[in-house]
Structure 1
Amino acid sequence: MATLSHDMTLDILRCLSVNDLLRFKCVSKFWCSWIEDPYFIKLHLSYSLKTNTNRSLIVRYCKYQFLSVNYDSPKTTRSLKQPLSEQKKYIQILGSCNGLLAVEDDDGRILLWNPSTRKYQVLPSTEIEFPSPPIRCSRSTYYGFGYDPVSDDYKLVRIVQLLGAKDEYFHSEAKVYSLRSNSWRRIKDFCFYFISYRQLGFLANNVLHLLAFKTPESSKRDLVGFDLRSEEFSLVELPDFCLDENIYFDVKAMGGYLCLSATYWELGDIVADVWIMKEYGVKESWVKLMSSTYPDLLLCSPSEVPLAFSKNGDKVLFHFKLNRDIRDSLVWYDLGSKRIEEVGIRGVPIVYDVDLYVESLVPLNLKPPRGKFSLFNCILLWKYEFLFLEIKIDVF
């Protein structure tokens, strides 16, 4: 009987969906060991990221219900069970990276959740180590979640700031949670101000980002990055037009790039531009991706969010919240024709939140890869197992 080579077998399996691979784990203990091998998990994830496959949208509605939507075929949807056994718990997504979601419930518990494998882990709680604050003060909290390729670790960053009235009191605390050690630790304090109740970070180039002020009185927002590898904060330069107080801008991450949306008045029209930083950290690499005039498309307000590029990069997916039709919607914006096409998703309610994630086998109990050799051993055992089954069939 003709058999596939090791490389051909790997090429086939790395292209499969997570659901198919989870079903194949039931074939035998060898298949199970093979699919759970850290080397294969990284191989499968790397292929998905490189080819823009196995991508899904996770839609949250009614504050506690989740729906997974196939990115390439939006009509394909499936309901997701909450990571906690309690029903109707309010859950907010804090960040997404490589198929893992950092989420928080209304009791303040933080979890890491892989919706594809339906596994989750509750993070240990950590106290806020503040001296006694004054009675009247405002509290701001930042969360960011990402992957550190140097230590092969997933990290959640939390920054909490207390600011007293008239700035007579200020305290800032930054901590990092490590999935590999399953513990929190204090890091160097954040020396900027983010005057908002809650802010969520966005990940690009293994760096978490947020918009902040150098002083509480400042009207100029700076883009600050936290490198997950060195665990250092630094400024990321924005285009010069961001200094114009008549321009409203916001920064997110899209397709691995920093993405800046800017809205301003020009000759009586509202103009919306989208810029991306082609080379991370290089100010001159900011390039304009698209420009549109209201009412065709109004970006950069809190109600329109660029989510991702299409598979071939010629379209951008936007999430419109409470637009002119008084309901949320997802639309494709064609960069060439500048046309808008609404994305119909079955079973989605009027109002919802949406995030992009890649379906993966990434586990919550990180283990060092055993190497390619161990995976090939599994392949050989699998072949011998099938040979043994053939012999038994011939005997009977």
Structure 2
Amino acid sequence: MDYSQPAFNQSYTCPLILLCSSDFPSDRHDQLYHCNICMNEPWNNKGLKGDLKYINLPLEYSKKFTTVLYCRGILFFSYVEVKDQVSEHNFFVYYIHAASFDRFPSRPAMTNESRLAFGFGFHPGTNEYKVVRIVEQEQPTGLEQRIEVFTLGKPMWMINRKNPFLLRMQPYAASFNGALHWLGQDKQNGSTIIVSFDLESENFQQIPTPDNCKSRLDRKDWRVVVLGGCLCMVDYNDHKRADIWSMKIYGVKESWIKEYTVMPFERLIGPSRPLFVLPNRNILIELQYLPESLYAYSVDLMTIYKIRIRDLPPRHSCRVVSVVDDTL
């Protein structure tokens, strides 16, 4: 493995939101940090100097979170709480710039027979933020999904019954162009497609996929992400490498190109999550299942560098919630 320093032409700072969970079972609180990583700093074994800022949540809001999502200066949290022997799924948002909180109405917690997935996005036309909660349950007739939508500032969750697709329960939805995106399945013909949920009309639509990928889309190791200002599809190829397809013009089928390939890494096991395109075709990636999971990968040189962030709390596992699209 080549750990040579990625090349940057100028000073470049990459801001991240990090979620850190303690390895101690008795610790019932997750910790959140805003971290500015200076990517052109001299790299060494001590790690990169990150401008680390603790996001101080009051004790009332400090929990073990089941979901943390970020969108344009707002953090969305979900957690499960038991009251009077009844499990409830609770939600709140934290407005980072105002340092203020809003709670949502709670929803029933999922059962052993159900699965949950979330999306969080913003529509510039309506200036509204919306959370989508997908509840999937096995029924005698097959899988059924309930789509619940909450608009920030509104009093209640709304049930959307207009979904003609079966959404893939990936950990996060790709928020782009005023819509949330998942991989899904057409209920009529069973084909794997990209499904969008317009945050203004709250209608589901199909987004065209690349012709070159259709024969492989049924595999589970695909993700829809936003990268380099484009809606992208990541083909993990059984985790041996990652091919990244970019839709250069949103909604235009012919604009799909295979833009990046992240090649296999020695001794690094597990899927990679591309986070951000850095200068000089370097990609910031997160590798799952590793204590130190952040890497910079040069597409052109096929070299990788481990990013160690100093001053993170010891005995904690950290993952990236999001790359921050504005400054704090």
- TM-score tier, shorter chain, comes to 0.7 to 0.9
Which among 240, 250, 253 is matched to residue 211 of structure 2? Answer: 240
Asked whether the 8 Å contact 1:83–1:119 carries over to 2, the reply is no
Partner of 1:242, secondary structure, is: helix
Structure 1 residues 152 and 272 mapped into 2: Cα distance closer, same or farther (>3 Å)?
A: closer
Q: TM-score, normalised by structure 1?
A: 0.63
1:225, distance to aligned residue in structure 2 (A): 0.4
Question: Is contact 1:202-1:208 (8 Å) kept?
Answer: yes
Of 190, 193, 204, 2:176 maps to 204
What's the counterpart of residue 193 of structure 1?
A: 166
What is the identity, as a one-letter code, of the residue corresponding to 1:305? R
Partner of 2:21: 61
* Residue 313 (structure 1) shift: 6.2
Q: Which residue of 1 aligns with 2:222?
A: 249
Structure 1 residue 336: deviation in Å?
3.5
CA RMSD of aligned residues (A): 3.4
Question: What one-letter code is carried by the residue in structure 1 that aligns with 2:223?
Answer: D
State the alpha-carbon separation in 2 of the partners of residues 81 and 217 from structure 1.
49
Which residue of the other structure, out of 98, 102, 105, is the alignment partner of 2:72? 98
Shift of 1:137: 8.6
The alpha-carbon distance between structure 1 residues 302 and 54, as it changes in their structure 2 partners (threshold 3 A), is closer
Distance 1:101 1:140 in 2: 22
One-letter amino acid matched to 2:208: E
Deviations, residues 315-342 of structure 1 (Å, cap 9, x unaligned)? 210011235xxx3321112233332222
Q: Could you list the per-position Cα deviations for residues 38-95 of structure 1 after superposition, in whole angstroms to 9, with x for gaps in the alignment?
A: xxxxxxxxxxxxxx988433233226122221144652112222355254x2114443
Please say if residues 149 and 229 of structure 1, whose CA atoms lie closer than 8 Å, have aligned partners that are also in contact. Answer: no
- Aligned partner of 2:51 in structure 1 is 76
Counterpart-to-counterpart distance in 1, 2:307 and 2:252 = 34
**Is it true that 1:339 corresponds to 2:303 in the alignment?**
yes
Tell me the residue number matched to 1:317: 284
Work out which of the residue numbers 292, 302, 314 in structure 2 matches 1:328. 292
Amino acid at match of 1:114: Y
The size of the alignment, in residue pairs, is 289
**Contact in 2 for aligned 1:249/1:262 (Cα 8 Å):** yes
TM-score normalised by length of structure 2 = 0.75
Q: Which has the larger radius of gyration?
A: 1
Report the structure, 1 or 2, having the larger strand content: 2
Deviations, residues 252-278 of structure 1 (Å, cap 9, x unaligned): 12243212222338xxx9443112111
Contact (CA 8 Å) 1:242, 1:249: kept in 2 or not? Answer: no
Following superposition, which runs of at least 4 residues in structure 1 exceed 6 angstroms of deviation? Answer: none
Task: Give the equivalent residue in structure 2 for 1:160.
Answer: 135
Q: 2:245 aligns with which of 269, 275, 282?
A: 275
Cα 1:112–1:320 change in 2 (3 A) is same
